[in-house]
Structure 1
Amino acid sequence: MKTLVLVEHDGQSVKDATLAAVTAAGKLGEVHLLVAGENVGAVAGEAAKIAGVSKVHVADDAAFGHGLAENVAPLAAELMGHHDVFVAPATTSGKNIAPRVAALLDVMQISEILSVEGPDTFTRPIYAGAAIATVKSSDAKKVITVRGTAFDKAAREGGSAEIENVASTGDKGLSNFVSAELAQSARPELTSAKVIVSGGRALGSEEQFHALIDPLADKLGAGVGASRAAVDAGYAPNDYQVGQTGKIVAPEVYVAVGISGAIQHLAGMKDSKTIVAINKDEDAPIFQVADLGLVGDLFKLVPELTEKL
């Protein structure tokens, strides 16, 4: 089988989410990559070095400059004439492009796989991760998104793939890039951070959130996350949200401050290697998944912890 993996990039380098998708694709057969963008020679060169990749298809055109799904999906669908499986990271971009590819191929998408059980059999979470389903697809062509926390990242070095330029399918005229407002932070990005400190609604206000969470995160060199309740209350911006409707993370250490542990939040962080919970309610669900738990007033415990680090 030949797999076609969508390379997620920022125009300069390959993002980590792609590396997990490459690992998943390698369990299905020969791995080819698709690099779509404008002036992406450097990205293609980096992609060719990823271990386990045999070919990199490069579509360099202004139509792909901002990664518009309406333009990238027809390109991927056309290349699927020579591939059996389309694989995309289960990121915002991947979730935008993959369903369109599936629709163009008239097949069912298999979303956020956790493992590859066979050439047509996979596991994926359902009910916010409360259960794991094993699914088998009879489609001739398969479209899959990969949950990055479930697979090891392929090595960035060690490969020597062939780079092949492919013809652009052009601008379909269905959408236009207007602008992008990107949050800038000196802290690690959530999906790649090794340590994450997240705050919940119990912090009480935006001022308290930043006054308690930010110093602790700075001491740990950590990324900052938040529960949906904290985001909805305006304590933190949307890009901080961890959970079923936010970002799926699996850092080495996850510190949950004032987070009760609703199943939707647990779905986004329960694969973390070590989970530390700070909550005054000893019966909070978060303690059921925590490796270390501190029961007490977070307004006293967090400053003390920060001071001692």
Structure 2
Amino acid sequence: MAEYKNIMVYVETAEENPVKVGLEMLSPAKEHAEKVTAVVIGSGVADAAKKVAEAGADQVICVDSEDYKEYNLDAYATVLTQLVKDENPEAVFIGGTQDGKDIAPAVAAKLGVGCASDVLAVKAEDGEIVYTCPLYGGTVLEDVKIASTPQVATLRSGAFQKVENPSEGEVVAKEVKVPEDVIKAKITESVKEIAETINLEEAEVIVSGGRGMGSKENFALVEELANILGGVVGATRPAIEDGWVSKIHQVGQSGKIVAPKLYIACGISGATQHVSGIMNSGYIVAINKDEDAPIFDVANVGIVGDVMKVLPVMIEEIKKIKDAQ
């Protein structure tokens, strides 16, 4: 028997499509609730709402308006809070994206309830939901119960699988107006760099470089390997601080939490903050000259050697394989 009658899932969109973690959250929600109500907010998101319904939500509330064309924390948090009050779910799941980490505590504060962050697992215990959250950079996992209702939680991307063989739910269009005085900050102009189109959270292959790459010129090998594999470039904080690549590529607790099918760590020692951000990756390959580097503790395959000698060989061998296909 399901623990809760209704769990609400806020599904964020990017380029008018539901983000991966939004669809993944439907799975634990369906496991623990009789009904799953998804929410999609934005402009021109009707198709995205339909995809969410096809992915397994029982009902999708679609708030589609020009007013929400640009993400605004005040507006989105107010809309979601109003929908929570209307639908009265026992829990609200929000993806642990950059925007999700903004909106979840804002909604929890408006409702006066508790919020669990960066949830890795959701289980039932004595008729209640228990959230497993990492502490101290992921070195400790703690089970958390939230006494207040509705419960609010951000779920980590890659921690859950999408619903298998989903049945399609219904889409309900709803209009929610936000009072003008609620908006504290307004976007007057949006400037989008090419680098900002990089989506680490959705990538299936990520090749990351760390301090061990030595220089910006050497870091080009990371970019070359990523291009050959059809993947995305990632980086640690030191590589970004040294100006080898822009901050949008940062992977880890203070960057993006990722869960690709393949993660290749080049010249990365494996600081706790970085490892915590990649722990849900399907397969991890690590290259480091220090055989005692912590990264090897989490790697499926470890290569002990000079990254500047290993990467050119890897690149050439992959090129040969691709040319032969």
Q: What TM-score, normalized to structure 1? A: 0.93
- 1:253-282 Cα distance to aligned partner (Å, 9 max, x none): 211100011111100112222211111111
Distance 1:196 1:49, change over 3 A: same
Q: Does 1:85 find its partner at 2:91?
A: yes
Distance 1:192 1:306, change over 3 A: same
Contact 2:50 2:171 survives alignment (8 Å):
no
- 1:86-105 Cα distance to aligned partner (Å, 9 max, x none): 11100011111111100000
User: RMSD of aligned C-alpha atoms?
Assistant: 2.0
Contact 1:217 1:224 survives alignment (8 Å):
yes
Distance 1:273 1:44, change over 3 A: closer
SS in 2 for 1:128: helix
> Unmatched 5+ residue regions in structure 1?
none
SS in 1 for 2:154: strand
Q: 1:97 aligns with which of 96, 103, 108?
A: 103
Distance (Å, rounded) in 2 between the aligned partners of 1:66 and 1:284: 43
Could you tell me how far 1:244 is from its partner in structure 2? 0.9
Distance (Å, rounded) in 2 between the aligned partners of 1:305 and 1:256: 13
Q: Does 1:116 find its partner at 2:126?
A: no
- 1:188-243 Cα distance to aligned partner (Å, 9 max, x none): 73212222110001212222212x11111122112111111111211111111111
**Counterpart for residue 184 of structure 1:** 194
Distance (Å, rounded) in 2 between the aligned partners of 1:90 and 1:11: 18
More off after superposition, 106-115 vs 5-14? 5-14
Q: 2:73 aligns with which of 62, 69, 74?
A: 69
Contact 1:36 1:67 survives alignment (8 Å):
no
> Aligned pair count?
307
Q: 2:215 aligns with which of 195, 205, 225?
A: 205
Letter matched to residue 273 of structure 1: G
Q: 1:296 aligns with which of 295, 299, 305?
A: 305
Contact 1:249 1:268 survives alignment (8 Å):
yes
Could you tell me how far 1:186 is from its partner in structure 2? 12
More off after superposition, 112-121 vs 128-137? 112-121
Distance 1:240 1:178, change over 3 A: same
Could you tell me how far 1:169 is from its partner in structure 2? 2.8
Distance 1:112 1:297, change over 3 A: same
Contact 1:241 1:247 survives alignment (8 Å):
yes
Distance 1:47 1:58, change over 3 A: same
Distance (Å, rounded) in 1 between the aligned partners of 2:117 and 2:197: 30
Q: Does 1:250 find its partner at 2:259?
A: yes
Distance (Å, rounded) in 2 between the aligned partners of 1:239 and 1:154: 30
**Counterpart for residue 40 of structure 2:** 35
**Counterpart for residue 29 of structure 2:** 25
- 1:39-74 Cα distance to aligned partner (Å, 9 max, x none): 3222222222222x1111122223322121100111
Identical aligned pairs, as a percentage? 35
Q: What TM-score, normalized to structure 2? A: 0.88
Letter matched to residue 84 of structure 2: M
SS in 2 for 1:217: helix
